[in-house]
Structures are given as structure tokens and as C-alpha cells.
């Protein structure tokens, strides 16, 4: 590992740390250490990083802003590649937007609204990165990433780099080809937006933000929606009807604002959250014979 770190330093890849607590990099404030934590400073340096990790036979995991993510208390083996400020570039050409995978979705929707471009209003309260949003086809308020994405610049596990079209991304509800068949990092995305009335765009964004504030517990560390909706039902409604709002295991609690959110009340472990997830699954199945699956990504040592 020391030789690998020396090589990464020599190439001036970006920030490099050993045994970095991943609780510092997730919105749930949960997660053990990464053996090696790398935050590359550019698209080129992410590609070089993966090349080196393959050369030294070190496995890797990519993260963005750490929402929609639950990391094991034992941390993550190998390397964690964070898409951060080094991949927050943005380029506008008419109504086409090219943006780095590390860019904040909330910040991006605000910047775009000021330029009178419409299409990202639905994302004004999504607390993740562009890369993560594309990876999971994030959505809200009746729209999602698949409605605006033209193509995505992907770095695959085998080191290959490709631009995938919207069709090739194989989007469906809260998922994409990157989850189903071809794991990879979304380094950049190109979105097709539309010119719009700046005031109307801002008003819609504000309504979406207000709705999130009123209905979702972002004043506590949380990961966003825990379960996928078992359509035509809604996970939150099923959980609330079971009287599970406020139910807790250890430091993890079902939010009293929204049944599909689990919050960290201050000292929660990943083990508490996992136990609570299992308890909810069991209760929902017992009552409705409906299997609910997690939307939050669960990763790390077991």
C-alpha cells in the first residue's frame, strides 16, 4: 500500500488519506474507516487512480456526497474514491449543460435557475452529487434524471472509459445499467435543458424545497428515502400505517415526520440502522405480504 500511495503522490492525483473515517463523508454520519481514501482533482486523475489501483490489485468503491448511502461500521476494504470539488466543473452551451460528477445537485439546480434554464427544478432539494443522481436515476416531484440526461461519461471497473447515451444507461425507477450490469463511476453528465421564465423556475424550486422541509427530516443526519416504493403503494405510507413512526433501535429511529426516513439521533451505528431496516421489512411483509427493498445503498465490510 505504501508503494501505491507514493505513486499517487508522485502523480499529484489529489487528496490522499489512510484510515479516513467515512462517517465524515456521509449525510447519515455513519461509517467506519477507508483503508485508503482518494479524492482526485480532475477527470484525468480519476482515470489514472483506477489504472494504478488495478495495477496494484486494490479494489475500489466510489462515493459522491454520501447521501443515499449506509456504510458498515467496519468501513470499506481497499480504496474509496470520492468525487468531490475536483469534479465540480460546469459548462453551458445554449441549453445544453455538461457537468462534473462531483457537483452538488442542489447547488447546480440553483445556478441553472439563475440562467433561466428549466429541467432541474425537481432536483432542487436532492442532497447528493450529480454522479450519484445519474447512477441511481434520482427523482422527485414527478420527474427524474432520465428525463434530461443526454449522455454520461463513465469509467468502468475494468478501466475502460465510455460515453453512454440515455438509452444505453437503461434507466428505470431509481436505477440504471450501472447498478444492474456494468458498475462504474459517473465522471460527467450532459443534460438537455430548456429556456424558461426565471421567476417561474425559481418559484417551482422554492415550492419543492419548502415541501421537503415540511415533510422530510433533514434537520437530523439521514440518508434520504430508505426503501423503494412498492408501486402503486408508497413505502412511507405502509410504514406509517403500521404505527412505526418514532420506533427506534439503538441510535437509529424511524422519523416522526416521514415513515420512509431513518434518522441518526446522535450515536447510531450502521448495525442499528440495519436492524431497524430488517424490523420494518418483517413488519410490512407480516401485515401486507409485500416485500419492500432498500433504495439506500448498503456497502462495506460485513
The count of C-alpha atoms lying within 13 angstroms of the C-alpha of 116, restricted to the half-sphere facing its C-beta, is 5
Return the pLDDT at 169.
97
pTM for the structure as a whole: 0.93
**Cβ-based neighbours of 6, under 8 Å, separated by 6 or more:** none
Return the pLDDT at 279.
98
Return the pLDDT at 196.
95
Residue 189 in grid coordinates: 453528465
Classify the C-alpha dihedral 155-160-163-164 as positive or negative: negative
Cell 496494484 identifies what position?
56
Return the pLDDT at 125.
84
295 included as an active-site residue:
yes
Q: What is the mean pLDDT of each run of 10 residues along the chain (302 residues)?
A: 94 97 97 98 97 96 94 98 95 97 95 94 90 94 95 95 97 91 95 96 91 89 95 95 98 97 97 98 97 95 92
Q: Which of 104, 109, 225, 255 is catalytic?
A: 225
Residue 208 in grid coordinates: 419543492
Angle subtended by helix axes 198-215 and 105-114, to nearest 10: 150
Q: CA-CA distance, 192 to 95, in Å (whole number)?
A: 6
Question: Residue 300: what are its φ and ψ, rounded to 5°?
Answer: 115, 180
User: pLDDT tens digits for 33-89?
Assistant: 999 999 999 999 999 999 999 999 999 999 999 999 999 999 999 999 999 999 999
Classify the C-alpha dihedral 113-110-69-208 as positive or negative: negative
Q: Which of 65, 67, 124, 174 is catalytic?
A: 174
Which domains are delineated in the chain?
A: 2-82 (3.30.43.10), 88-215 (3.30.465.10), 235-299 (3.90.78.10)
240 included as an active-site residue:
no
51 included as an active-site residue:
no
**Cβ-based neighbours of 40, under 8 Å, separated by 6 or more:** 13, 14, 46, 48, 49, 81, 83, 86, 87
Q: CA-CA distance, 46 to 53, in Å (whole number)?
A: 11
**φ/ψ bin of 219: left (φ > 0), alpha (ψ from -120 to 50), beta (otherwise):** alpha
Amino acid at each position: 500500500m505504501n508503494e501505491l500511495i507514493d505513486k499517487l503522490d508522485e502523480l499529484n492525483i489529489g487528496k490522499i488519506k489512510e484510515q479516513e473515517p467515512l462517517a465524515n463523508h456521509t449525510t447519515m454520519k455513519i461509517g467506519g474507516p477507508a483503508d485508503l481514501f482518494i479524492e482526485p482533482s480532475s477527470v484525468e486523475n480519476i482515470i489514472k487512480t483506477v489504472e494504478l489501483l488495478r495495477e496494484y490489485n486494490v479494489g475500489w468503491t466510489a462515493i459522491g456526497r454520501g447521501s443515499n448511502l449506509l456504510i458498515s461500521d467496519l468501513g470499506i476494504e481497499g480504496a474509496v474514491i470520492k468525487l468531490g470539488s475536483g469534479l465540480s466543473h460546469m459548462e453551458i452551451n445554449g441549453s445544453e449543460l455538461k457537468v462534473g460528477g462531483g457537483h452538488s445537485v442542489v447547488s447546480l439546480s440553483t445556478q441553472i435557475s439563475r440562467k433561466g434554464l428549466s429541467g432541474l427544478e425537481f432536483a432542487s432539494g436532492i442532497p447528493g452529487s450529480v454522479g450519484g443522481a445519474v447512477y441511481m436515476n434520482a427523482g422527485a416531484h414527478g420527474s427524474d434524471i432520465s428525463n434530461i440526461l443526454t449522455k454520461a461519461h463513465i469509467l468502468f471497473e475494468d478501466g475502460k472509459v465510455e460515453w453512454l447515451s440515455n438509452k444505453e444507461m437503461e434507466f428505470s425507477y431509481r436505477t440504471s445499467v450501472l447498478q444492474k450490469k456494468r458498475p462504474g463511476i459517473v465522471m460527467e453528465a450532459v443534460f438537455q435543458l430548456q429556456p424558461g421564465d426565471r421567476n417561474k423556475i425559481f418559484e417551482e424550486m422554492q415550492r419543492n424545497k419548502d415541501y421537503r422541509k415540511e415533510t422530510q427530516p433533514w434537520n437530523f443526519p439521514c440518508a434520504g428515502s430508505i426503501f423503494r416504493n412498492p408501486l402503486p403503494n408508497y413505502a412511507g405510507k405502509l410504514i406509517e400505517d403500521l404505527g412505526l413512526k418514532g420506533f427506534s433501535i439503538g441510535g437509529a429511529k424511524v422519523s416522526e415526520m416521514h415513515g420512509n426516513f431513518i434518522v441518526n439521533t446522535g450515536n447510531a451505528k450502521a448495525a442499528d440502522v440495519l436492524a431497524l431496516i430488517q424490523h420494518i421489512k418483517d413488519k410490512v411483509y407480516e401485515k401486507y405480504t409485500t416485500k419492500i427493498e432498500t433504495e439506500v445503498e448498503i456497502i462495506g465490510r460485513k
